[in-house]
A and B are shown apart, each in its own frame.
Chain A
Amino acid sequence: GENVEQHPSTLSVQEGDSAVIKCTYSDSASNYFPWYKQELGKRPQLIIDIRSNVGEKKDQRIAVTLNKTAKHFSLHITETQPEDSAVYFCAATRRSNTGKLIFGQGTTLQVKP
Chain B
Amino acid sequence: NAGVTQTPKFQVLKTGQSMTLQCAQDMNHEYMSWYRQDPGMGLRLIHYSVGAGITDQGEVPNGYNVSRSTTEDFPLRLLSAAPSQTSVYFCASSSSGTVSYEQYFGPGTRLTVT
Contact = CB atoms under 8 A, between A and B. Distances in A.
Interface of A: 1, 6, 9, 32, 34, 43-46, 49, 51, 89, 93, 95, 97-106
A102 B45 contact: yes
Size band of the B side of the interface?
Answer: 20 to 34
Contacts of B58: 100
Contacts of B32: 99
B42 A89 contact: yes
B25 to A, nearest CB: 12
A99 B101 contact: no
A34 B44 CA distance: 15
Interface string B51-93: 0000010110000000000000000000000000000001011
B33 A103 contact: no
A107 to B, nearest CB: 10
Contacts of A103: 35, 42-45
B103 A98 contact: yes
A43 B107 contact: yes
Interface string B30-45: 1111010000111111
Contacts of B41: 105
Nearest to B40: A105
A100 B48 contact: yes
Contacts of B33: 99-101
A45 to B, nearest CB: 7
Contacts of A104: 42
Nearest to A105: B42
B31 A98 contact: yes
Contacts of B101: 32, 34, 49, 51, 93, 95, 98
Nearest to A104: B42
A106 B103 contact: no
